[in-house]
Chains A and B, each alone.
Chain A
């Protein structure tokens, strides 16, 4: 079956290659992919089944820790009911948190886009010979740890920090307690934390737009603003959508920005609830249910994102 090795695969001659050789090659490539496949199965797919098993599991009343139940036929709905009561029940406190999460995330990612788009647009289109410099400065925050960037604002926003000093210097009230649990501080932190990611996506997308399309628009008599509205903006629809997702998805699981810049339940988001339940005996099962609910809501945008980026990758090649 082996035949001369020349015939084994590739090129024109593949068509004549014996069936066994092609099978052999397929086996080789399957073998290459196998470690990754096994890893993803054991450490990605199985863990999510485990979350289901915890969510449908029982509570060990002695230790207060959750007991996973792996047979779906034996799953109990106790955790689901408790979570439901936590959201919609008579003593519910989570519904306002969910609304707040949506509201914060919408405002913060909208601001990310409003600030990020013009900057990315300028660097992609007009930076000219200084493009490398601008790009380095745009990318720099991407390499700086999130904690360091939060520390920076913790220093600036303290009551005796530079922001209040600056406000005082221009004659505004200078005794604002920025870190005392305000929604605008949390939104500022979210924007500051996630804007580098959306800017990179927007820059890559805008940089890919063929300049001759814009010239054609201008040659046909469109003004600068019209060219932007009729050519650039429609062509950047995809980067805008993926960029928004790349900021929205992590914001929905963010608990640390809130903890560092506010630290009060008044500004708590859904991430804070999950993280607290995870660390509280007796509530871990509900934490599992809540994370699965968040995941269920996000599955559609996630799949959309995956499809959009792999389509873009195929078109680029």
Chain B
């Protein structure tokens, strides 16, 4: 009985729907959840992250293959007497070189870029604007073209600085100085001039204004740019590939590339890549926590902080 009634009712609604002018399709909830988009996003995320997960897994492979799983072991990190990260001198040199370059570059590029941004922000002349433009060009120029220029300058004009750690550091500073310069300028623009004007009215000279007003207000931006510079250098490849010339100044990225290209790839490279990944993630997490602590009490959400740390 009830089924018949429902069928009848359904038929009636169907008829009414058909009779009514307007959209032929039944009207759907306009605020429905976009399941298609969500599934697409999940598929993308799986495609983007699953291969990395497998690459990390293969750094624990007990065999020599990067493609066929042969059991779990610490062989490539610790136990292999020759080829593991713990025992191979070349691998350790690569790790060390990456850390060295990241530290040197961050220590030079961040102060340089912050001062540049502070100066350009108030020194509004044609020269200032021109150099700001040059700085932005250094941000967008393809890395290979920049690397070619660096290769030539260190092999001809500045041949006193031969290829190696010093040349790599100088080039990496130039390549990365735009991070602090851009991020600090953006922050300066959002802060506005009222604080510095108040400080000046209260008797600060420019140096005191910078030291007591600007630097504390800028500290989150400075931290964010330091993190970006450090992690960019960890991952950098082209510049150091062109400017390194021996095992002592070859960082991890170049070592991985050269060894894999030479047909000697193996899980040790995956182990090296995993170490790079852990370094970057530790830096990113510490930076995120620091950034949140520094911007406590400001408007803004965790997602804003995440986007800032990632440079956008």
Contact = CB atoms under 8 A, between A and B. Distances in A.
Nearest to B51: A152
Interface string B123-162: 1010110010111111111111100111111011100000
A28 B153 CA distance: 32
A40 B225 CA distance: 18
Interface string A111-133: 00001001101110010000110
* Residue with the highest number of chain A CB atoms closer than 10 Å, among B137, B140, B311: B140
Interface in A245-301: 245, 249-250, 252-256, 259-260, 263, 271, 274-275, 278, 284, 287-288, 291, 294-295, 298
B238 A137 contact: no
Contacts, number: 326
A145 B56 CA distance: 13
Interface stretch (B10-18, B71-79, B84-92, B110-118): B110-118
Nearest to A303: B137
Interface stretch (A75-83, A86-94, A309-317): A309-317
Given A40-B131, A317-B190, 7 more contacts: A36-B112, A139-B310, A148-B273, A152-B51, A196-B48, A316-B190, A317-B189
Contacts of B289: none
5 contacts: A5-B205, A11-B201, A36-B112, A134-B45, A223-B30
A50 B156 CA distance: 8
B148 A287 contact: yes
Interface string B41-78: 10011001101101100100000011110000000000
B203 interface: yes
A126 B256 contact: no
A142 B280 CA distance: 10
A40 B142 contact: no
Contacts of A200: 307, 310-312
Contacts of A313: 185-186, 189
Category for how many chain A residues contact B: 35 or more
Contact of A32 (B45, B115, B157): B115
A224 B200 contact: no
Contact of A317 (B170, B186, B196): B186
Interface stretch (B1-9, B216-224, B229-237): B229-237
B112 A155 contact: no
Contacts of A47: 149-150, 152-153, 157
A141 B53 CA distance: 11
Contacts of A31: 119
A314 B55 contact: no
A46 B157 contact: yes
B51 A149 contact: yes
Contacts of A148: 52, 55, 256, 270, 273-274, 276-277
B306 interface: yes
Interface of B: 30, 33-34, 37-38, 40-41, 44-45, 48-49, 51-52, 54-55, 58, 65-68, 112-113, 115-116, 118-123, 125, 127-128, 131, 133-145, 148-153, 155-157, 170-171, 173-174, 177, 181, 185-186, 189-190, 193, 196-207, 209-210, 231, 234-235, 237-238, 241-242, 252-253, 256-257, 260-261, 265, 269-270, 273-274, 276-277, 280-281, 284, 302-303, 306-307, 310-312
A314 B112 CA distance: 23
B145 A253 contact: yes
B257 A156 contact: no
Contacts of B33: 126
Given A135-B306, A147-B256, A162-B67, A294 B55 contact: no
Instruction: Classify the secondary structure of A's interface with B.
Output: helix
A115 B44 contact: yes
Given A131-B303, A259-B261, A146 B115 contact: no
Interface string A189-220: 00010011000110110010000000000100
Given A39-B112, A131-B303, A274-B148, A44 B200 contact: no
Contacts of B55: 148-149, 151-152, 155
A153 B53 CA distance: 11
A306 B280 contact: no
A50 B152 contact: yes
